[in-house]
Structure 1
Amino acid sequence: MTASAVGMSDPRASGQRAHGKQTINEGDQSSMDMKKISAACATAAALAALCVPGAAFAADGTLTLNAGDGSTLAGHSFTVYLIANYNDVVKDGANVKSVSASSPDAAADAWVKAALNKNGVTYNTSEGRNAAEQLLRLQTDSNTLRKVAGTLQSTAAASKVTAVKTNQTSTTGSLNLTLPEGYYLVVDAQGIPILVSTTIGGATRMTNGQTLGSTQIKTNVTKIDKKIKSVDGTWKDSAAATNGETRDFKATFTVPNKLAVDTITLEDHMTGITYIDGSFHASVDGTDITNQFGAIGKDKITAAAGKTQTDGTGFKVTSLQSLVDTYQGKQVTVTYQGKVVNASKANKAINQIILTSNWLPSVIPPDVPTPNPGTDETPVPTYDVDLKKISAADGSRTIQGAKFKIHNDSLNQWYTWDSASNQWTFGTDESKATEFSTDAQGVINFTRLGAGTYTVKETQVPTGYFTFVKPSFTIKVTDDGHVTIAGKDQPGLTGKVTNADANASTPTAVVKNIDNITQLPQTGATTMAIMIVGAFAIILVATATGWGAYRIRHEDMGDGPIAA
């Protein structure tokens, strides 16, 4: 006997069939319009069912499990159970219009029947219904179907049913399975159970547009990957930034299965960083989808116990349902900016994003803990470099009052220090840059610097030292805190430092001042030029002094004025 065709109007369906002829939903089935059938047809169908030996003579179909764009199935392990066989298939061109469904064996029939009964689903066997056929009649996106799937997963071990395939894994973003044509329960060790259909007679679609033979997994954790843009323009897991600097951040995630998730919520907990209003943007394949998210709310983070770091301000936003419905399986890229407001060597700034899947009711089986949200963290360290000024004549004597300015060559910016906020500000006008002076120990501390290349130039030489000899040096800081110091102008007056670890200690640039021309190191054309210029200046001074004495002497002797 045949049942009437069942319509599949919901494109979220994961596979459906019935005992007798019916349309399959790729998961559940929406409306069904039962026809009256004759006793003769019922008898013929019943006899045909008795003659079909389950899945033994079923044709093979295919089933592809997908992780979604930018994701992988690594870490997942799938077990596949046959729920129903397909018998009569009615094609409509390349698509499937309807099929007949039956339980593969008595154990599977009892297993599915018990799961239906537990969740309040009944059916009338006198109308030609059986457990497998009734399961396919359930609405695809209904709470009932999700509850039944959870019950089937939790009772599979005790049901005496045998899995068709076990421990199926993949290290890529998809897994292709060849299976007898039918309707299956797919249990994921790292996800939520799925009810899904294979291809039927090679067809990958029902006449109403629903997909056959493929589905996106319902992963229990939606992973997210967070990056920060380094000063060199590359995206990294961590990058050093100057206190006061604004940096770009990027997070990517795959939109979860719309049969499992309603919306997603993004939270970025910022410590020592402040979110820049209006900087949030989202895209898929280069197309802007920022309008798929609601209003951006502020997310205030307080300093941890025992920490001196001031509060950071992040953001929190929830997507619209249309994001999941429209972009299921697509990779979303979210970009935004944050200003580093209170990072230090002792307390790096922290930027932690949290992605929460807002699950549809009854998606999580009752015996499975609610999955934790996906998280990723982007530390933003900052480093210190010291300058120590000493006498070239006496290396043990430190020099107070030598003045310096610092320039970021990577950004072409002069640095100005605000001691009240412990932040730097930046500009192209050297006259507005802070002029630092060495203290009684001859030291200047350049604090809270990000990655990049800097030039530190002496702007004023202390009294008693040659004013025309003003050394400068470069500082190169990497994202992981390695510092290299080398002389630039008058290189021989700056001690060289190679790849000092700024995480362990504070690298120090030792710079000398000279009070005698003989203290200039004779290394390089620049030094020689200074020596020549200095010597020439001394000669000029001496000559001018001697010439003046000669003129006075001759005028005093009455020789008359000197010819010009």
Structure 2
Amino acid sequence: MTSIPSLRRMARMAMAAVTASMLLATMAATASAEQTTPALGDTITLTAGGSNSLNGPDFRVARLAGFTIDGTAVTVAVEPAAKDAVIASLPGKDDGAGVADDYREATDGDPITWLARQGDAKDSPAWRIFAERMAATDLIAGTAPTTGTPTTGDDGTISKVVFDGLTPGLYMLIDANTAAEGTTKSSPILVGTAITGATPPIGNADGTVEVKNQRLAIDKSIIEDGGQTQTADRSVGDTVDYRIATQIPDTSKYANDADNPYMFRVEDTLSKGQRFNDDLTVESSADGTAWTPVPSDAWTAETSSPADGTVATVITIDLSSWTYTQGRNGMAGGAVRISYSATLTDDAVIDGAGNTNGVTLTYSNDPATNQTGRITPPDTRVYTHGFRFTKTGSDGTTPLKGATFTLYAGEGFTDADKYRRADKPDMDVTATSGDDGVVAFTGLAAGTYWVKETGVPDGYRDLDVRFKVTIDADHGSAARIRFDRVASLGDSLVKPSGDGSTLIVANVEHLTQLPLTGSVGTTMFVVAALLLAAGGIILALISKRQRNALD
């Protein structure tokens, strides 16, 4: 057993592959009259940092070295069963760890003591290399998981796990839990049981370590009026601006080579009815406020074919290499966002479940193996609507084919008031009745529209039929439609149902077939009244002349 002569504060292993605190560096203090006898604890407590939650209570707990008290000194000695694995994991002079010479058992004594002399654990690459190698040994892989005692909140999150009844010493703990969605497994942990009463005190030697399981999230949103939303109304031909946002993880503990490639890949799926506009950009920000474009050669994007909206389109954005580099170079915890647009096409779903856009992030979540996890947030949905009515003959029941109607966005019914699709600004939007007399306008956002009959079948009268349509969106089901008359010569032919939800538009071959209601009926009564009044005046004049003649 070897006494370590000085304190190096190996209390924290806050570097690649070592998540938490490490007790060790030097475990003894020089004796003095004021010193007390140290006490050794037998527990290790893992706590979740910040708002994080531990993945679970199961860890592989392997003792690498033992602590003992010799008077006022704390000494350390490698665990015999772990000795070969510990020696095999030590860094050498050719590993770029600042080690002057390779470890020699015959002359260098205890391997853990030798490692402590290679530098402060907080800053030393020697400890990083040791932790990475040790975590990959058969000794650790063959250690059965131990279930600690968890402290669980009402929401199911685990804030603390305690392992008690341990033999005092230095331990490696490996997360044996399945990473929860949106989290990564904790990195290999080197931590010692508590030492109290040492003078001077051994920094942070309290047997407690904060485990920082990284929590990732990915959000998908529609950009509208400068804000973000999950649902939106659009007309066919309109552009929809999409944004994907996620975080840059800490990748310092991960490998990235042919055997263990690091992965950070976004897969975005546009439903049928949305045409990708091939305008994808990627930006990053250290603080979420100042955004910088990520060079296009730092990521790749592949799009399924065809991407014209006739089928679903899958866009795969691979940010693995860029994220791995940024996560090791000070950008961990920063933000990355992906932006692009799509155009709603004639293949869009009308009402119902809407036109979806889903995204999935696939990311490396285990530093030991680079196995991957997936996060899939709720889909965004774009809704579009439509309305239909029936064109009939004068009887109001016989379907009339060949009547054409034009859609307007304004009630003035001028050319400037005509509704135009965003992608076809020079084309009128019209619909013509078929054999069943049905006229349908589809692919419209919620709002108010006006309709005018602009073409009548042969033999029928053009009576300037007009009406108003209001579309009230009810996302997830059919929109509510209301038809209302607009004053015109033929408004008596516009026959909405009692609640205005359905409509029949009739037509006549002769004016005498017009119903005596509406504007035409009113006009006819006015004309008749005027004619009667005029007739009365004429009769009165004739009678007066006759009386004058008799006189």
Q: TM-score, normalised by structure 2?
A: 0.62
Shift of 1:291: 4.7
Shift of 1:298: 3.8
Alignment map for 1:312-323 (pairs within 5 Å): 315-318=317-320, 319-320=322-323, 321-323=325-327
CA–CA distance in 2 between the matches of 1:195 and 1:114?
A: 20
Shift of 1:484: 1.4
CA–CA distance in 2 between the matches of 1:455 and 1:391?
A: 22
CA–CA distance in 2 between the matches of 1:168 and 1:133?
A: 37
CA–CA distance in 2 between the matches of 1:363 and 1:239?
A: 40
1:344 to 348, 354, 365: 348
Shift of 1:190: 1.9
Which residue in 2 is equivalent to 1:435? 430
Which residue in 2 is equivalent to 1:480? 476
CA–CA distance in 1 between the matches of 2:530 and 2:316?
A: 69
Which residue in 1 is equivalent to 2:173? 185
Summarize deviations over 1:224-254 as a string: whole Å, max 9, x none: 3434458996632x66654433223343434
Summarize deviations over 1:86-123 as a string: whole Å, max 9, x none: 779xxxxxxxxxx96736xx9xx245435335657666
Aligned residue identity for 1:470: R
2:104 aligned with 1:102: no
CA–CA distance in 1 between the matches of 2:126 and 2:533?
A: 107
> Does structure 1 conserve the Cα–Cα contact (< 8 Å) formed by 2:284 and 2:335?
yes
Which residue in 2 is equivalent to 1:493? 495
1:65 to 41, 48, 66: 48
Alignment map for 1:112-123 (pairs within 5 Å): 112-117=82-87, 119=89
Shift of 1:189: 1.0
Which residue in 2 is equivalent to 1:154? 141
CA–CA distance in 2 between the matches of 1:389 and 1:425?
A: 28
> Does structure 2 conserve the Cα–Cα contact (< 8 Å) formed by 1:269 and 1:299?
no
Distance 1:74 1:518, change over 3 A: farther
Which residue in 2 is equivalent to 1:36? none
Which residue in 1 is equivalent to 2:189? 195
Shift of 1:19: 7.1
Structure 1 residue matching 2:249: 3-state secondary structure:
coil
Shift of 1:195: 1.0
CA–CA distance in 2 between the matches of 1:462 and 1:200?
A: 96
Shift of 1:405: 0.7
Shift of 1:377: 6.8
Shift of 1:387: 1.3
1:145 to 131, 138, 144: 131
CA–CA distance in 1 between the matches of 2:287 and 2:539?
A: 90
Where in structure 1 are there 5+ consecutive unaligned residues?
Answer: 24-40, 89-98, 418-423, 499-507, 521-530, 560-564
Alignment map for 1:15-164 (pairs within 5 Å): 15-18=21-24, 20-21=26-27, 57-58=40-41, 63-66=46-49, 73=53, 76-79=56-59, 81=61, 83=63, 102=76, 109-110=79-80, 112-117=82-87, 119=89, 124=105, 127-131=108-112, 134=115, 139=125, 142=128, 144-151=130-137, 153-157=140-144, 163=146
Summarize deviations over 1:447-489 as a string: whole Å, max 9, x none: 3446x33535335474756836522222233432432112234
Number of aligned residue pairs: give it.
461
Shift of 1:385: 3.3
CA–CA distance in 2 between the matches of 1:165 and 1:148?
A: 22
Aligned residue identity for 2:131: L
Which residue in 2 is equivalent to 1:176? 160
1:453 to 427, 447, 457: 447
2:463 aligned with 1:467: yes
Where in structure 2 are there 5+ consecutive unaligned residues?
Answer: 92-102, 180-184, 257-261, 412-416, 546-551
Shift of 1:336: 1.8
Structure 1 residue matching 2:372: 3-state secondary structure:
coil
CA–CA distance in 2 between the matches of 1:275 and 1:141?
A: 50
Summarize deviations over 1:370-418 as a string: whole Å, max 9, x none: 3245445736465563513234853422233141315499xxx97435x
Alignment map for 1:179-258 (pairs within 5 Å): 184-191=172-179, 192=185, 193-197=187-191, 213-217=209-213, 224-228=218-222, 235-236=229-230, 241-258=234-251
Which residue in 2 is equivalent to 1:512? 505
Which residue in 1 is equivalent to 2:548? none
1:334 to 333, 337, 358: 337
> Does structure 2 conserve the Cα–Cα contact (< 8 Å) formed by 1:19 and 1:128?
no
> Does structure 1 conserve the Cα–Cα contact (< 8 Å) formed by 2:115 and 2:126?
no
Q: TM-score, normalised by structure 1?
A: 0.61
2:359 aligned with 1:353: yes
Shift of 1:64: 2.4
